[in-house]
Amino acid sequence: MSDARPAQVAAAAPRDAARPFAAVQRTRRNVVKWIVTAPPFLFLLVFFLLPSLIMVLASFRYPGEYGGLAPLGAATHPGADHGLTVETYQFFFSSFIYTEIFIKSFIVALATTLICLVMAYPLAILIARSPRRHRDLMVLLVILPFASNFLIRVYAWMIILGPQSAFSHFVNSVLGVFGAGPVTMLFSPFAVLCGMVYVHLPFMVLPLYTNLEKHDPVLLDAAQDLGAGGWQRFWRVTFPLSLPGIFSGAALVFIPVLGIFVIPDILGGTRDILIGNLIENQFLTTRDWPFGSTLSIMLTLCVLATAGFAAWLARVGARRA
Amino acid sequence: MALLEIRDVTRRFSDFVAVDHVNIAIEAGEFFTLLGPSGCGKTTLLRMIAGFDLPDEGQILLDGRDLAATPPEKRPVHTVFQSYALFPHMTVAQNIAFPLKMAGKSPARIRDRVDEALADVRLSEKSGQYPHELSGGQKQRVALARGLVNRPRLLLLDEPLGALDAKLREDMQLELIELQKEIGVTFVFVTHAQNEALALSHRIAVMNRGRVEQIDEPSKLYGFPKNRFVADFIGKANLFDARVIDSAGGRLRLEVPGLGDVEAPARADGGVGAGDRGVLSLRPEQVRIAPPGHAEQLRNHFPGKVHDFLYIGDVTVYIVELVNGTRVEALLPNSAPGRAKFFEPGDPVEVAWRDDVGHFLHE
């Protein structure tokens, strides 16, 4: 580091010699910096990076006879070196079932993200353009659902969409008018989507609001002054300026939805299994840890690829805007 | 017919009258300035011309047509905002192209007009840069080019030079004059800086508390202010309370309490008679300052004492306290090299002025 900027160091050294206090102060500042940043750094190292590496290793191992992992270098699998294998990855690609579940999960995550975006945008604009004294209250209302338990909120949807609920009666009687048969809404992709959108909506509203609130209203005046009507002002000024908010909101919705298993577990039917459920099953039901790890790593790779694609899209979009 | 006619316009905000029965007619090709202290209603008036606000009473006519029903985006009027309001996500060229795009011009025509506008403000090499990469003066020029590119009938400028430092402001003033002359678009300029208004405008409307105090050419405004407010706001003025004793032969004889008789020129519009009360306004550069007994050749001369002085560079401003306690400002040019100070505070001096300067104002 220091030899990268020799000129600066050379210039700074005699000055510090003349003012020893400055050197002491600089050292103290560095020590403080380390003390403050070390705990979160160590925390992430121990509880995120190491487990991730352990999982990568686990995905290349054999399952144990009674679940878990087979010991390394085990003789149970003759011909295998050190008990490492790519069998699980081969297994993943051997059947289209798993790829299909991945694709389905992506579609659900994408749909949830889009629905959240369409629902959150007007709300975020409304909050951002309200008088300042009302904004805090409105933001509080948006995050209020977090005050009650996540599972209770999801179970509430089970009741709302259940066959005996007022909502179901209403929907079916309306459908009846048009001669369409009664539908069961619970344990369906529709129910899963309802739950997903409901739970993740605040994660879209908040970053959007934070972004929109910072827009200088005089820009809209300028656009109008220069001949832009309402839609033009939105598409050419508000929307492009809100792209960073849209991207962070989309990331906060898309990524968790991709991996979530509780909502499809409770609200989905037996055929609505998503990646999250698949991974959960490998660890808790099938007890095939290596395959669970493999699925988990595939999921991580997919998320990274999507994020990379979005970043690329944003850069290209910014250049062309 | 005037290009823009503001006819008896009033705008109230609850019980505060921001604009109070204002009448202004602006001719095509004019550089017209609305000048006044903050809160005088000039910005409200500008917003009503742009269409962001509507008058409670009266009409705003452009080319003889009432604008009340026309929203801002449909008015052939563009604004240069105080903060420039450049679109941060667009390049310089895209910013300038914006009004053309909104007007539905063809891409080829937009390209030509943008290139032309960039050349007009000497920013051709910056066309691909974003606003945050530009200096204050460059942002200002982009805002101007954007406002002018599709040749509006009227360009409104809301204190556009306020954010620039003094040196740059002077350069931009010259550029503004050039640009306006070259393009011929009518400018309506809003400012609270009287020197800026005097330097730039063909005509100025001085506003105070929502009312127009005087509309005139800069030299008329400075030389013949209509009332105390204008005299005090435009340039510096020494104001003496005075009573007219006699008004004959193109001369006014005034009595200034505690000081004595003063002779001043009669007003061109006449209308001043013996017994009238008002104020005598004298510009600091009209007041001479001399050692005691050296100003007898001038009709109006009074003894006083130097109270303080401000060294400004080209001139020194002396503040002299007269016998009746009035403080008078007098300018002394520093053209003699090395002579920065002629008098010290406390020195007895004589202030004097010719009998053909000064301007009597009715209260």
Q: What does pLDDT average to in each consecutive run of 10 residues of chain A (321 residues)?
A: 44 57 86 92 94 91 81 59 80 90 93 97 95 93 90 91 88 87 85 94 96 95 95 95 92 92 88 88 89 92 89 74 49
Helix (H) or strand (E) holding B278: strand B277-282
Cβ contacts (< 8 Å) between A241 and chain B: which residues? 88-89
B212 CB-contact burial (10 Å; exposed 0-12 / middle 13-18 / buried 19+): buried
- Token pair 């050197």 is found at A23
pLDDT tens digit sequence for B190-229 = 999 999 999 999 999 999 999 999 999 999 999 889 888 9
Q: What is the pLDDT of residue B272?
A: 79
**Token pair listed for A47:** 């509880």
Q: At B334, is the pLDDT very low, low, confident or very high (cuts 50, 70, 90)?
A: confident
- d(CA B192, CA B203) in angstroms, rounded, equals 15
| Residue B49 pLDDT > 60 | yes
User: How many A-B residue pairs are in contact by the CB < 8 A criterion?
Assistant: 59
- d(CA B116, CA B107) in angstroms, rounded, equals 14
Q: What is the pLDDT of residue A311?
A: 83
**Token pair listed for A258:** 């991709």
Most B CBs within 10 Å, among A225, A231, A234, A242, to test the B interface: A225
Contact A227 B88 (CB under 8 A): no
Q: What is the pLDDT of residue A7?
A: 46
**ipTM strictly over 0.90?**
no
**Token pair listed for B312:** 């400004």
Q: Which of A311-320, B309-318, B334-343 has the weakest average pLDDT? A: B334-343
DSSP conformational letter for A181: P
Most A CBs within 10 Å, among B52, B79, B86, B156, to test the A interface: B79
What 3-state DSSP class applies to A216? coil
**Token pair listed for A239:** 């929307």
Cβ contacts (< 8 Å) between B153 and chain A: which residues? none
Amino acid at B67: L
A residues 197-226 closer than 8 Å to B (CB): 216, 218-219, 221-226
**Token pair listed for A166:** 């007022």
Q: What angle do CA B251, B254, B255 make, to 5 degrees?
A: 160
Q: CB A88: neighbour CB atoms within 10 A? A: 24
Q: What angle do CA A38, A39, A42 make, to 5 degrees?
A: 80
Q: What is the pLDDT of residue A15?
A: 54
Q: What is the pLDDT of residue A78?
A: 55
Q: Which of B77, B83, B89 sits opposite A218 (nearest CB)?
A: B83
Q: What is the pLDDT of residue A129?
A: 93
DSSP conformational letter for A48: I
- B159-187 exposure pattern, b = at least 16 Cβ within 10 A, e = fewer: bbbeebeeeebeebbebbeebbeeeebbb
Q: What is the pLDDT of residue A185?
A: 85
Helix (H) or strand (E) holding B21: strand B16-26
Q: Supply φ then ψ for residue A256, to 5 degrees.
A: -65, -40
Cβ contacts (< 8 Å) between A218 and chain B: which residues? 81, 83, 85
pLDDT tens digit sequence for B219-236 = 999 988 988 899 989 988
Q: Tell me the percentage of chain B whose pLDDT exceeds 70.
A: 98
Q: What is the pLDDT of residue A6?
A: 46
Q: What is the pLDDT of residue A1?
A: 38
- d(CA B252, CA B249) in angstroms, rounded, equals 8
Tell me the residue ranges of DSSP E strands in B292-344.
300-311, 315-322, 327-333
Q: Mean pLDDT across the stretch B283-290?
A: 89
Q: For the full predicted model, state whether its pTM sits above 0.90.
A: no
Beta-bridge partners for B12: B17
Q: What is the pLDDT of residue A74?
A: 54
Q: Which of B23-27, B162-166, B279-283, B349-353 has the weakest average pLDDT? A: B162-166
**Closest Cα of chain B to A236: distance in Å?**
9
